[in-house]
């Protein structure tokens, strides 16, 4: 196995030392250097050419987000952000992921976390995973504006109520993928959208707020007991499982704190399995970039109970990590494999073919 060379960037000497010790306790990881701010980091990247960079969000002279933009535009490579768990920290972390960070780790007690060793396994795991990210995709998207489908701009919607629901599952690289898909949907989208994005508690609200500001549809963090409405996307809150239940003529969201499924809470499998109970609804599923296989078993359950389910997966060519879509495709139950800019197009075309949408390309 090849050694992974890492540059650790943090303005705290204590944090640099502890993170270095944590990483170097793994036999595959070697810390080639440390940097105290973004300006120092850019020089050290030239000097050491690390495979992965761990990057603090809040630093003097040049902060983490400014540094990240420079890295992804001029010296692209996997970057894992370290952030404090505050509202401002969450907002800036979500912003950093949208600018090309592969993943992030929360500091448990602020910028200088004396208890950072609580995150030891997560720090090592995320660095090991980051090295497999498709960085050319991240770097390319950093330079290009999202591709907007003319079809989704021109589509005209039926005024009648439809009985369909869209479910999206994603993980590593997901916030950028969600931005690409949700911003292409028209305001009068004729279905509710339920979303599982693997993310810890405290960050999904910032993600929903950011996506809502960019989208024509409403995007919000899901709340227990609320009734699903067409033209609204509901993101499962981090640290909870989300299900959809039928109550009379309406569908409601159920949010519960329970055991993780496959290490995930929220879990795509849990969401998909709940949709299998919606007997009178047409279900559309979308699985996009992410590590692991969450969603594949849920898709099997869903297809067994609702054979007319339409399943879409993101193609390898545009994934940051081709894990979850690949696992779904291996079930042989995926109907359409599409590159990221075309996913909303494929979804709307399928809804049009079933009479839920009127419109011509």
Write out the DSSP string of 53-70.
EEEESS-SSS-HHHHHHH
Q: Tell which residue, 338, 328, 267, has the closest CA to residue 303.
A: 328
Measured in whole angstroms, how far is the alpha carbon of residue 29 from the centre of its chain?
25
- Could you tell me the CA-to-CA distances from 179 to 146, 184, 271, 316 in Å, in that order? 9, 9, 20, 18
Contacts from 141-145 at CB under 8 Å and sequence distance 24+? Answer: 141/100, 141/176, 142/69, 142/72, 142/73, 142/76, 142/99, 142/100, 143/73
- HSE-CB of 25 using CA atoms within 13 angstroms: 13
Q: At what angle do helices 135-143 and 64-74 cross, to 10 degrees?
A: 100
| 103 a catalytic residue | no
| 198 a catalytic residue | yes
Distance CA 105, CA 109 (A): 12
Tokens of 101: 């960070």
Catalytic residue, candidates 51, 63, 269, 294 = 294
The secondary structure of residue 12, as a DSSP letter, is: -
Catalytic residue, candidates 11, 198, 313, 344 = 198
| 26 a catalytic residue | no
Catalytic residue, candidates 96, 164, 171, 315 = 171
Residues with a catalytic annotation lie at 171, 198, 294
């Amino acid at each position: 196995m090849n050694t992974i060379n890492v540059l650790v960037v943090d303005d705290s000497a204590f944090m640099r030392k502890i993170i270095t010790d944590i990483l170097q306790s793994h036999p595959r990881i070697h810390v080639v250097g440390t940097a105290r701010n973004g300006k120092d980091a850019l020089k050290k990247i030239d000097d050491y050419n690390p495979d992965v960079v761990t990057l603090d969000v809040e630093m003097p002279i040049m902060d983490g987000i400014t540094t990240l933009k420079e890295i992804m535009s001029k010296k692209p490579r996997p970057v894992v952000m370290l952030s404090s768990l505050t509202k401002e920290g969450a907002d800036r972390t979500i912003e950093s992921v949208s600018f090309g960070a592969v993943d992030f780790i929360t500091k448990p007690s602020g910028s200088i976390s004396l208890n950072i060793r609580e995150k030891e396994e997560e720090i090592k795991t995320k660095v090991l995973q980051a090295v497999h990210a498709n960085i050319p995709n991240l770097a390319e998207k950093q330079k290009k504006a999202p591709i907007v489908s003319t079809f989704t701009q021109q589509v005209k919607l039926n005024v009648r109520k439809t009985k369909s629901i869209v479910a999206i599952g994603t993980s590593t690289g997901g916030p950028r993928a969600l931005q690409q898909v949700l911003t292409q949907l028209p305001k009068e989208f004729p279905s509710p959208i339920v979303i599982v994005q693997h993310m810890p508690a405290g960050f999904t609200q910032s993600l929903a707020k950011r996506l809502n500001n960019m989208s024509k549809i409403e995007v919000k963090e899901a709340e227990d007991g609320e009734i699903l409405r067409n033209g609204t996307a509901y993101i499962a809150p981090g640290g909870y499982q989300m299900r959809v239940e039928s109550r009379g003529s309406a569908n409601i969201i159920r949010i519960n704190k329970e055991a993780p499924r496959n290490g995930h809470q929220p879990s795509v499998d849990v969401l998909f399995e709940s949709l299998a109970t919606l007997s009178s609804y047409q279900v559309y599923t979308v699985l996009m970039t992410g590590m692991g296989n969450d969603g594949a078993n849920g898709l099997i359950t869903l297809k067994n109970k609702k054979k007319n389910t339409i399943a879409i997966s993101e193609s390898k060519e545009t994934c940051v990590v081709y894990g979850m879509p690949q696992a779904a495709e291996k079930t042989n139950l995926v109907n359409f494999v599409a590159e990221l800019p075309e996913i909303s197009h494929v979804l709307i075309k399928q809804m049009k073919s079933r009479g839920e949408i009127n419109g011509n390309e």
